[in-house]
């Protein structure tokens, strides 16, 4: 399963990367530690890339993921943090207490840093399409067209 995240975290598409890091964070906070510890090397590589990602939300999820990873494998997480560039390390350290807030409130607490479409609290494509009075997917659009023809 982590191969899918590794692929998603390396995607050219910013939304795919952001979502992959979001799902990785959810996995790090919800799966059994024994299962995750077997994949510590892969998780460390994913988080190392994520904290320097070009997309703000992907970086944020990865920084939170570092602290979730610390709960899984303290030694590996500490090595990861110590090996980061100083500016990235400061950003990771600033988010140390954010993980507990995220666990309590979900993505809504990230609203203060959200900006524009695709942000964690922005409406998704389905909500945006509904607001415009259009179907959210091509399949829904075809179904609407077919029913109109009958």
Rg (CA), the chain: 18
Instruction: Report residue 109's pLDDT band, with 50, 70 and 90 as the boundaries.
Output: low
Range in 28-37, 38-47, 88-97, 129-138 with the lowest mean pLDDT: 129-138
Alpha-carbon gap, residue 93 to 13, rounded angstroms: 27
Alpha-carbon gap, residue 43 to 79, rounded angstroms: 13
Output the average pLDDT for the chain.
78
Alpha-carbon gap, residue 119 to 27, rounded angstroms: 20
Please report the pLDDT score of residue 117 as a whole number.
44
Domains of the chain with bracketed CATH: 2-118 (1.25.10.10), 120-150 (no CATH)
pTM of the model: 0.70
Q: Which stretches within the chain are classed as H helix?
A: 2-9, 14-30, 33-37, 40-50, 56-72, 74-83, 86-94, 98-105, 125-131, 138-149
Q: Supply the DSSP symbol for 119.
A: -
Whether residue 46 contacts residue 9, with contact meaning beta carbons closer than 8 Å, is answered with yes
């Amino acid at each position: 399963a982590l191969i899918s995240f590794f692929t998603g975290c390396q995607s050219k598409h910013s939304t795919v990367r952001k979502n992959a890091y979001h799902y990785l964070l959810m996995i790090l906070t919800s799966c059994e530690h024994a299962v995750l510890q077997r994949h510590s090397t892969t998780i460390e590589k994913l988080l190392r890339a994520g904290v320097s990602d070009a997309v703000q939300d992907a970086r944020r999820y990865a920084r939170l993921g570092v602290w979730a990873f610390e709960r899984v494998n303290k030694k590996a997480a500490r090595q990861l943090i110590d090996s980061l560039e100083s500016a990235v390390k400061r950003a990771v350290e600033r988010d140390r207490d954010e993980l507990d807030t995220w666990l309590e409130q979900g993505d809504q607490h990230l609203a203060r840093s959200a900006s524009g479409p695709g942000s964690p609290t922005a409406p998704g494509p389905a909500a945006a399409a509904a607001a415009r009075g259009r179907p959210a997917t091509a399949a829904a659009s075809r179904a609407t067209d077919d029913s109109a023809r009958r």
